[in-house]
Structure 1
């Protein structure tokens, strides 16, 4: 794990290998909780929204899918509802928990379609892209 300073001066823990992901912090600086294992989520498919240097999309927001959000995401070019078995992706439905890219959550928020989030399972690195107060308004 290495620490990285955000533009706001906050220190963020970022994994340097997959074996370090279980000790990564959530938005409150506590140990990152599991987001979901059915379907298996996370950039590393561990069930957690951890991140590392190879996660260029920053898949750090543990979001609860809704039909409204899935339709919005599809309309902007990120179809999360259609199964893609060739990638082991089952397709998501309302009620599923999924590690979203922080920028996608912010985009949905600005468009009025943000899904609810599990803040205990949302990575601290998210705060480089999303305001904590905005996330807290959508906390489950």
Structure 2
């Protein structure tokens, strides 16, 4: 799954493809998201959390995440993290999104911006049922 081609420098990143096998679209520039802070839910060998689900934050999910020990709402300027609010898009860990799904707290997802590696953890059917339809 992870790219080792010399053209890409063998940086260990997975090809930037979404769950449809098409080029991965950006998730969010404001706030800037992604494990690599490149606005996309890209992943690679060093992304042990698999931050690949482009999700639209809800108050319910932010509360759920805080209760699980990952406070995404509180700004942490020392890390360049503005804190998230409902309506923000963010690259979530696939396992955390699955956990939220099982707790009936899963946020909607942007399929075109969700990396295909997510399918290693989350079913395509569950993602489709929680997809924000393009406008």
TM value normalised by structure 2: 0.89
Distance 1:104 1:16 in 2: 28
Aligned Cα root-mean-square deviation (Å): 1.8
1:17 matched to which residue of 2?
11
Q: Does the Cα contact within 8 Å between 1:16 and 1:53 map onto a contact in 2?
A: no
How far did 1:16 drift? Answer: 4.5
The alpha-carbon distance between structure 1 residues 54 and 72, as it changes in their structure 2 partners (threshold 3 A), is: same
1:111 to 76, 82, 103: 103
1:84 aligns with 2:76: yes
> When you count strand as a share of all residues, which structure comes out higher?
1
**3-state DSSP class of the match of 2:55?**
strand
Aligned partners of 2:38 and 2:124: how far apart in 1? 24
Deviation at 1:2, TM superposition (A): 2.5
The number of residue pairs the alignment matches comes to 127
Q: Distance in 2 between matches of 1:80 and 1:17?
A: 28
1:96 to 88, 93, 114: 88
Dislocated runs of 4+, deviation >2 Å: 15-18
What TM-score, normalized to structure 1? 0.86
Any idea what SS the aligned residue of 1:136 has? helix
